[in-house]
Amino acid sequence: MNNFNNMKGHTAIFMANVIFGLGVPVSKALLDNWVTPLGYMASRCVGATIIFWIVACFMPKEKVERRDLLTMLAGGLLGFVISQTLTAEALKYTTPVYFSLVAALTPVSVMILAAIFLKESITGLKIVGVVMGIAGALLMLFTSWTSGTGSNDLLGISLAVLSVLTWAVYLIITRKISAKYSAVTQMKYFFLISMIVIVPIALCTQPSQPLYSSEWEWSGVLEMAFIVLFATGLGYFLIPYAMKYLKATTVSIYTNIQPVVASLVAIAIGQDLLTWDKPLAAILVLLGAYIVTMPDKKENA
């Protein structure tokens, strides 16, 4: 049974990160042509809130302790409002490949924050992994400063780093409640608080949203539908589901799938160019992430 549960967890988090990888170039297209970052965020919040509260009506009700509810609300603010707003802003300025490579630093970020706040030990080998991941990020920053292809890659990459750090905090603080409650219960509160915060602010930018004006086209509608239904609704359901069975560091290593999927799609559709630094940065970042998530001898495989 334990092996079966592990398999379910690994399958769920693999699917989530493939979806998120596809979501990067789709989000880039939306932000370039159809919505502002706030409009993008508001659409995701409203859509996901409706989805999860409807689904919750057909599931057994769970009584949520007040302390856990506060953690869920904090998770919504960190994991979506702050992290995904930074993501949307980052994609305005940098390319999908650079962004997705920064996202692959999530395992490194989780390990560093766990060491600082949870006093978890770091082995010498894992320090090597951290150094490699940071070296990959510095390579991206240096290259983007001198010859980046985005409108402002340096700013975009910096915002992406902040997004990753915020997401890492979310993974750490919600680990315990992910094991206690269903994914639907968590996500309905997660997105409710996000909608309450984001929508009033986003309404001020309504006139600058071509997707919600007479200029709309089906391509924009389909792109937003993918983001709301899959990259938000299904993706955010799969994460807490996987965390019921897997450790936060194990969940975070699957983030490495995102840059592979996002880069292949972005380059294929002409959103990005394959330059010399990207494969080298990918090797450093992905290998570093793999090293920091390798189980210690004392840990179970």
Higher pLDDT, 298 or 181: 181
The predicted structure's pLDDT at residue 300: 46
User: Which of 154, 111, 158 has the alpha carbon at shortest distance from 131?
Assistant: 111
The predicted structure's pLDDT at residue 49: 93
pLDDT digits (tens, 9 = 90+) for 233-288: 898 888 888 877 877 667 767 777 887 888 888 888 887 777 767 788 778 877 77
The predicted structure's pLDDT at residue 16: 92
pLDDT digits (tens, 9 = 90+) for 109-147: 877 887 777 777 777 777 887 788 778 777 776 665 555
Rounded to 5 degrees, what are φ and ψ at 3? -65, -35
Contact 103, 165 (CB under 8 A): no
pLDDT digits (tens, 9 = 90+) for 26-38: 998 998 889 988 8
Distance from C-alpha of 85 to C-alpha of 80, rounded to nearest angstrom = 7
DSSP 272: S
The predicted structure's pLDDT at residue 301: 39
The predicted structure's pLDDT at residue 100: 81
Distance from C-alpha of 116 to C-alpha of 121, rounded to nearest angstrom = 9
Asked whether the predicted pLDDT for residue 81 surpasses 80, the reply is yes
Q: Read off the pLDDT band of 53 (50, 70, 90).
A: very high
Packed helices 66-76 and 153-173: angle between N→C axes, nearest 10 degrees? 170
Average of pLDDT values for 158-163? 90
Distance from C-alpha of 31 to C-alpha of 292, rounded to nearest angstrom = 33
Q: Taking all residues of the chain, what is their mean pLDDT, rounded to a whole number?
A: 83
